[in-house]
Amino acid sequence: MTISRAADEAGVGVETIRFYERKGLIEQPLRPSGGYREYDRETVERIRFIQQAQELGFTLREIGELLALRTDRKADCADVRNQAIAKRDEVECKIARLEEIRAALDAVIATCPGGGSLNSCTIMEALSDHRAKAAVTTESPD
């Protein structure tokens, strides 16, 4: 399978495959003819694995670790589970943070008269510091 075929099968671009290769996410493929990369079904699966994991919010670095686990004979299912749990906790933190932001935006929108000069715009006021802290600040930013 050529690189463009593999890219099609996996649903990514050719350059993406070369990029993953550089990043060590997929192994160096054989080059039987004229230096052209030769891919098998397994590598396509591996690329799909990467895509799936990305959809779950894993970074390429983390996916690299998962892939390393996959070929590690000593690796345990619990290792993978722990990774997944850590990622879920991380996602939960992000959600909580975004919910705070949403609440702050809602508050600010609710008090806005919705028209008139900026001098009486409560949103601008809220962003212009002083009193703003209560409505806006929510501990450490991301």
Partner DNA sequence: ATACACTCCGTACAGTAGTACGGAGTCAAC
Partner DNA sequence: GTTGACTCCGTACTACTGTACGGAGTGTAT
Q: In the complex, which residues of this chain contact its own copies (CB under 8 A)? A: 45, 48-49, 52-57, 66, 69-70, 75-78, 80-81, 84-85, 87-88, 91-92, 94-95, 98-99, 101-102, 104-106, 108-109, 112-118, 120-121, 123-124, 126-129, 132, 136-138, 141
Stretch in the footprint of DNA (CB under 7 A) among 5-13, 68-76, 102-110, 128-136: 5-13
Q: Report the alpha-carbon distance of residue 103 to residue 137 in Å, rounded.
A: 11
Which residues does residue 30 pair with via DSSP β-bridges, in sequence order?
Answer: 38
Tokens standing for residue 41: 């079904």
Which of residues 36, 91, 103, 137 is near DNA by CB under 7 A? 36
Q: Is 46 in the site for DNA (CB under 7 A)?
A: no
Tokens standing for residue 29: 């493929």
Q: Is 59 in the site for DNA (CB under 7 A)?
A: yes
3-state SS record for 29-79 = CECCCCCCCECCHHHHHHHHHHHHHHHCCCCHHHHHHHHHHHHCCCCCHHH
Q: Is 34 in the site for DNA (CB under 7 A)?
A: yes
Amino acid 99 reads: E
Q: Report the alpha-carbon distance of residue 118 to residue 128 in Å, rounded.
A: 12
- Cβ distance to DNA smaller for residue 122 or 138: 138
Per CB under 7 A, residues contacting DNA are 2-5, 12-16, 18-19, 31, 33-37, 54, 59-61
